[in-house]
Structure 1
Amino acid sequence: MLTSPSQPVNKIDFDEKMVIQPLEYSLAWANDFQTAGTKATAPSIAACPPVVEVAELMELYSENVVAKIWRTAEKSINEHPSFDAYPEHVPESGPGAGKYEAKPARFWTCGFFPSSLYCILERYTKFPNRTPFSALPSDNISSPDSSYRAQLLALCRAWSAPLRAQASRTDTHDLGFMMHPLRMDWELTGDPSSLKDYIIAANSLASRFDERVGAIRSWDQIKRLNFEVHDKVNNFLIIVDSMCNMDLLFYSAYHSHNPRLAAIAKQHAQIVMATLIRPDDSTWHVANLDQYAPQKGTVKYRMTHQGLADDSTWSRGQAWVVLGFAQTYMWTGDVEFLSACVRLTEHFLAQLRDSPAQKCPWVPLWDFSDTSGEADSTGDRLRDASAGMIAANGMLLLHQALQVRRDGGNNVRYDGRRYLDAALNITSDTIQYAFDRGDNARLEIDENGKVKVPAGSWDAILRHSTANNNPDAVMRYKDHGLVYADYYFLEFGNKLLRMGLV
Structure 2
Amino acid sequence: MYSHTSHALDSSLLTESLTEPTTQPGTSSKVSNGTRIGLTFGGLYTENCLAKIWDVASRYITKLPGEYPETVPSDGEQKGQYSTREARFWTCGFFPGSLYSLLERSSRFPKALSLPAHVDTFQLHDQLLMLCREWSAPLHFMATRRDTHDLGFIVLPSLRMDWELTGNRKSLEAVVTAANSLASRFDERVGAVRSWDKMHSKRYDIDDRENNFLVIIDSMCNMDLLFYAGYHSRNQKLIDIATAHAHTVLRTIVREDFSTFHVCNFNPRNGEVQYQQTHQGYSDNSTWSRGQAWAILGFAQTYAWTKDPIFLHAATKLSDYFLKRLSESSHCHPYVPLWDFDAPVEGGQVPPRDTSAAMIAANGFLIMHQMLHGRDGTAYLDAAIRIAEDVVAHSLAPEQATIHIEGDGRIVAHRTGFDSILMNATANKNKYALMPYWDHGLVYADYYFLEFGNRLLRMGLV
TM-score (normalizing by structure 2): 0.91
| Aligned-partner SS, 2:92 | coil
Closer/same/farther in 2, CA of residues 248 and 138 from structure 1, 3 Å limit? closer
Contact conserved, 2:70 with 2:442, CA < 8 A, in 1?
A: yes
> Once the 2 structures are TM-superposed, how far is the Cα of residue 456 of structure 1 from its aligned partner?
1.8
- Distance in 2 between the 1:388 and 1:95 partners? 28
**Code of the aligned partner of 2:170:** S
Aligned ranges 1:280-319 → 2 under 5 Å? 280-293=257-270, 296=271, 298-319=272-293
**Code of the aligned partner of 1:85:** E
Contact conserved, 2:52 with 2:415, CA < 8 A, in 1?
A: no
State which of 88, 110, 115 in structure 2 corresponds to 1:128.
110
State which of 148, 167, 189 in structure 1 corresponds to 2:124.
148
Runs of 4+ in 1 over 6 A off after TM superposition: 13-16
**Code of the aligned partner of 1:84:** G
- Distance in 2 between the 1:371 and 1:353 partners? 17
Aligned ranges 1:123-202 → 2 under 5 Å? 123-133=105-115, 135-139=117-121, 141=122, 147-180=123-156, 181-202=158-179
> Once the 2 structures are TM-superposed, how far is the Cα of residue 55 of structure 1 from its aligned partner?
4.6
Structure 1 partner of 2:368: 398
Contact conserved, 1:2 with 1:501, CA < 8 A, in 2?
A: no
**1:60 is aligned to 2:44:** yes
Aligned ranges 1:100-119 → 2 under 5 Å? 100-119=82-101
- Distance in 2 between the 1:122 and 1:464 partners? 27
**1:450 is aligned to 2:404:** no
Contact conserved, 1:460 with 1:481, CA < 8 A, in 2?
A: yes
Instruction: Tell me the number of residue pairs that the alignment of Structure 1 and Structure 2 aligns.
Output: 437
TM-score (normalizing by structure 1): 0.84
| Aligned-partner SS, 1:135 | coil
**1:340 is aligned to 2:314:** yes
**Code of the aligned partner of 1:425:** R
Structure 2 partner of 1:277: 254
**1:214 is aligned to 2:198:** no
Q: Percent identity?
A: 51
Work out which of the two has the higher radius of gyration on C-alpha atoms and give 1 or 2. Answer: 1
> Once the 2 structures are TM-superposed, how far is the Cα of residue 228 of structure 1 from its aligned partner?
0.9
> Once the 2 structures are TM-superposed, how far is the Cα of residue 458 of structure 1 from its aligned partner?
0.2
> Once the 2 structures are TM-superposed, how far is the Cα of residue 290 of structure 1 from its aligned partner?
1.5
**Code of the aligned partner of 2:403:** L
Contact conserved, 1:52 with 1:425, CA < 8 A, in 2?
A: no
Give per-residue Cα distances to partners, 1:258-282, cap 9 Å, x unaligned. Answer: 0100000000000000000111111
Aligned ranges 1:252-271 → 2 under 5 Å? 252-271=229-248
**1:227 is aligned to 2:213:** no
**1:501 is aligned to 2:456:** no
Closer/same/farther in 2, CA of residues 333 and 455 from structure 1, 3 Å limit? same
Alignment RMSD (CA, Å): 1.9
Aligned ranges 1:439-478 → 2 under 5 Å? 439-478=399-438
> Once the 2 structures are TM-superposed, how far is the Cα of residue 138 of structure 1 from its aligned partner?
3.8
Structure 2 partner of 1:368: 341
| Aligned-partner SS, 1:466 | strand
| Aligned-partner SS, 1:479 | strand
| Aligned-partner SS, 2:284 | coil
> Once the 2 structures are TM-superposed, how far is the Cα of residue 4 of structure 1 from its aligned partner?
7.5
**Code of the aligned partner of 1:454:** H
Structure 1 partner of 2:55: 71
**Code of the aligned partner of 2:291:** G
- Distance in 1 between the 2:306 and 2:455 partners? 20
**Code of the aligned partner of 1:177:** F
